[in-house]
Amino acid sequence: MTPTETTRIKLRLLLNDKDKKSFTDDEIDMLLNEEDCVYCAASQGWILKATMYENSVGEITEYKTGEESYTSANIKDLVIVAHKNADRYKSMCVNQCGSIILGLDTEVSI
């Protein structure tokens, strides 16, 4: 799909990237250009975010300052959430089509 200002904004919202810390404008445009709809682009974006999370292994997830303690999300949990978001947005694809003849999705077990 061709990137527009509206689709860029929507994709950033779907990727929880309003502050532009995860993806550059060029990366957002790449995701939109490679996919048929903004939801498929969001799915691919969340897969990329999962990879980013996996690459942050070794970062501090819990620390204490005096009597205060701070805990950030476990990296494994972030990856799981990112993959769930990818699956969710892929299922929302507006260009999925099933059978041309029946207009139905079919499942075949072999």
Q: Which residues contact 82 (CB under 8 A, 6 or more apart)?
A: 46, 47, 49, 50, 53
Burial (CB < 10 A; 0-12, 13-18, 19+), residue 75, is middle
Question: What is the predicted pLDDT for the residue at 109?
Answer: 59
Distances in Å between the alpha carbon of 99 and those of 3, 103, 105?
29, 5, 6
Q: What is the DSSP letter of 71?
A: E
Model pLDDT, residue 21: 94
Is the residue at 107 inside a domain? no
Q: What is the pTM of this model?
A: 0.73
Q: Tell me whether residue 106 is in a domain.
A: no
In-domain check, residue 60: yes
53 or 24, greater pLDDT: 24
Domain-located, residue 101 = no
Residue 61 lies in a domain: yes
Asked, for residue 18, whether it belongs to a domain, the answer is: yes
The verdict on residue 99 lying in a domain is: no
pLDDT in tens, 26-64: 999 999 999 999 999 999 999 999 999 888 765 666 777
Domain that holds residue 74: 5-91
Q: Scan for tokens 């059978």, then name that residue.
A: 99
Give which of 51, 23, 39 is closest to 86, Cα–Cα. Answer: 39
Which position has the higher pLDDT, 10 or 95?
Answer: 10
Q: What percent of the chain has pLDDT over 70?
A: 79
Residue 102 domain flag = no
pLDDT, average across residues 65-93: 88
For the chain, what is the domain count? 1
